Amino acid sequence: MWFFTRQIPKSQEYSGLSRIFSALMITLCSYSVLTAADLLRRGELVAIPTETVYGLAANALQPEAVVKIFEAKNRPFFDPLIVHLSGAGQLEKWALDIPESARQLARTCWPGPLTLVLPRGEHIPDLVTSGLDTAGFRVPDHPLTLELLTLLDFPLAAPSANPFGYISPTTAEHVMDQLNGRIGMVLDGGPCRVGLESTIVGFEFGKPVIYRLGGLTRERIEENVGPVELMLNQSGDPRSPGQLKSHYAPRVPLRLGDPVELSRELPGKRLGILAFQRIPEGEWQAGRVLSPGGDPAEAARNLFGMLRELDAESLDFILAERLPESGLGRAINDRLERAAG
Ligand code: TXA
Ligand code: MG
């Protein structure tokens, strides 16, 4: 079989044992990718690793497969899905009227944490886009999922692999905790490198607009295409629930602000704290620090996992601290605001 013929890089010196281990790992990885491809071809659901969060994937061209995503997640049909492609070159095949700024972003930022909303070609089913005449497209940056997409002759529709409204999964275990028994398999690609969903960019009168803050910073986008407007929905436009006011939420109520001040208003309650760099003095039942060194990228990677951990601690409230409002900090604050509902 083809996966036995893969070469181990010659530039590296391998001892006998590590050579066998590497060959075994490559074989196992490829085997799981083949299994995932087979399930997807048969119209089943597979949770896939991406650099942002795990996705729950189905054949984007097959409505009978896509409908299973909505069922497994309890997701309302008005919430459109993102279409995952194997490379930027695929965009021409599925999207129409692509503005130059979209091409530029696709060229420089894909594979990566960026979704482009563009007019869709006729082959993308209504179910994927909730009847909108645009679709969100993205090339995820994860070797297993790219390998999988390259094997398939269809793109993958995939929202985040969590029950609707709950915290997105950043490990295979997070997916299994909630969707075990409802999906064909999880392709385990390790913990997600970015940890926040993709930044969603649309085009209004040809000009790029950010609909959802995410793993690609506004600054990075502006380096490529000049100033972009933010059009983050705060009111709850049913067309884009990723932008709903309450989303990404733990079950324990979350309050956002200065934890010490917030705790004064909650005497006698069991409080958990989600701090950025250090946990301040106080009566906390549980605490997590997103990044002791103050690195927003590390904080992003830890955010959803730590929220899940605090959610499991039988608390009355989670008190979360804001990050400085720039770069990834802005996207993290956006998620925390929505988690606070
Ligand atoms: O990083 C990500 O984007 C992850 C991974 C799996 O790729 N996916 C993800 O999907 O976060 P999901 O379903 O949780 O968020 C998809 C959001 C929708 O809620 C909506 O806000 C937006 O993408 N979206 C999709 N298609 C759209 C469209 N045609 N117009 C406007 N927004 C759209
Ligand atoms: Mg989601």
User: Mean pLDDT throughout 246-253?
Assistant: 82
Ligand 2 midpoint to CA 28 (Å): 29
User: Mean pLDDT throughout 265-289?
Assistant: 97
Ligand 1 and 56: CB distance under 6 A: no
Ligand 1 and 52: CB distance under 6 A: yes
Q: Is the pLDDT of residue 84 over 90?
A: yes
pLDDT, mean over the chain: 91
**149-193 pLDDT, tens per residue?**
999 999 999 999 999 999 999 999 999 999 999 998 999 999 999
Nearest ligand to the C-alpha of residue 237?
Answer: 1
The DSSP H or E segment spanning 233 is none
Percent of the chain with pLDDT over 70: 91
| pLDDT reported for residue 18 | 77
Q: Which residues neighbour ligand 2 (ion) by CB within 5 Å?
A: 160
Ligand 1 and 195: CB distance under 6 A: no
The answer to whether 83 and 184 have CB atoms below 8 angstroms apart is no
Question: In angstroms, rounded to a whole number, what is the distance separating the alpha carbons of residues 243 and 338?
Answer: 8
| pLDDT reported for residue 20 | 82
And the tokens for 336?
A: 């925390």
Ligand 1 and 162: CB distance under 6 A: no
φ, ψ dihedrals at 28, nearest 5°: -65, -45
Nearest atom (ligand 1) to Cα of 214: 1
- Per the DSSP assignment, residues forming a β-bridge with 259 are none
The preferred substitution site among 46, 75, 148, 200 for testing ligand 1, maximizing ligand atoms within 8 Å of CB, is: 200
The DSSP H or E segment spanning 242 is none
Q: What number of other Cβ atoms are within 10 A of residue 74's Cβ?
A: 11
User: Mean pLDDT throughout 311-316?
Assistant: 96
| pLDDT reported for residue 9 | 40
Residue 132, CA atoms < 13 Å, CB-side half-sphere: 19
Q: Is the pLDDT of residue 242 over 60?
A: no
Q: What number of other Cβ atoms are within 10 A of residue 278's Cβ?
A: 10
| pLDDT reported for residue 8 | 34
| pLDDT reported for residue 37 | 98
**106-156 pLDDT, tens per residue?**
999 999 999 999 999 999 999 999 999 999 999 999 999 999 999 999 999
Least confident of 21-35, 227-241, 324-338: 227-241
| pLDDT reported for residue 87 | 98
Give 137 or 5, the one with higher predicted confidence: 137
The answer to whether 255 and 265 have CB atoms below 8 angstroms apart is no
| pLDDT reported for residue 79 | 93
